[in-house]
A = this chain, B = another copy of it.
Amino acid sequence: MLTLYDFAPSGNGYKVRLVLAQLGRPFRRIEVDLLAGATRTADFLAINPDGRIPVLVLEDGTALAESNAICWYLAEGSPLLPDDPLERAQVLRWMFFEQYSHEPNIAVLRFWHHLPAMTPLQQAQEPERRAKGEAALAVMQTHLVARDWFVGDRPSLADIALYAYTHVAEEGGFDLAGYPAVAAWLARVAALPGHFPITDPIGLDAAAPAAGAH
């Protein structure tokens, strides 16, 4: 069975849970509490030397890191990945945008806002990260004004990747009221069959009976 090394509050982990659930793939989930340093132990670094979750471990023991690479591997041959080479490249374009322009700002501010207190360096960086996060939301708004989905005429991995941290952007102090096309797209993604929110136990336990086992 597939094993997912994961951390419940992580949007990067949630992306993979969503894809696994939408594809109906059973998996064993292992919680790795990164706040307690569990991604930096020798045991975990042997699985992923980069010290990050999520990591998918295949039946043969091969470890695959990076949320969007895991999603791509799982979704190959499914409706979540288009067949057309250019549409596939556009899916990747949005997934790289997500990791470069969106996550380091929108997800990181969400994380910082959940900390008991920000460090002085985090406080100093916040305005720039907020401006870059707003810029990423503006790019999404511009793209979605005349489209239902990020690539082509149906939902794809691009939508799942960008949904993960956008739908909890308000936890980092971002107000989506200024991005109505983004808000409408979030509602479309949330209405897809098999969808569940990041906090829902379906993704954490019901779909993964052995959750927490180790």
Contact = CB atoms under 8 A, between A and B. Distances in A.
A22 interface: no
A76 interface: yes
Nearest to A74: B89
Interface stretch (A28-36, A64-72, A183-191): A64-72
- Copies per assembly: 2
Q: Which of A68, A85, A104 has the most CB of B within 10 A?
A: A68
A73 B86 contact: yes
B121 A66 contact: no
A93 B121 contact: no
A187 to B, nearest CB: 22
A197 interface: no
Contact of A65 (B88, B93, B121, B124): B93
B49 A69 contact: no
A104 B104 CA distance: 10
A69 B50 contact: no
A100 B100 contact: yes
A72 B143 CA distance: 22
A21 to B, nearest CB: 19
Contact of A69 (B67, B90, B101): B90
A140 to B, nearest CB: 9
A66 B124 contact: no
Contacts of A131: none
29 contacts: A49-B142, A50-B97, A50-B101, A58-B86, A62-B86, A65-B93, A65-B97, A66-B92, A69-B90, A69-B92, A69-B95, A70-B89, A72-B88, A72-B89, A72-B92, A73-B86, A73-B89, A76-B85, A92-B92, A95-B96, A96-B99, A99-B99, A99-B100, A100-B103, A104-B104, A121-B124, A121-B125, A124-B124, A125-B125
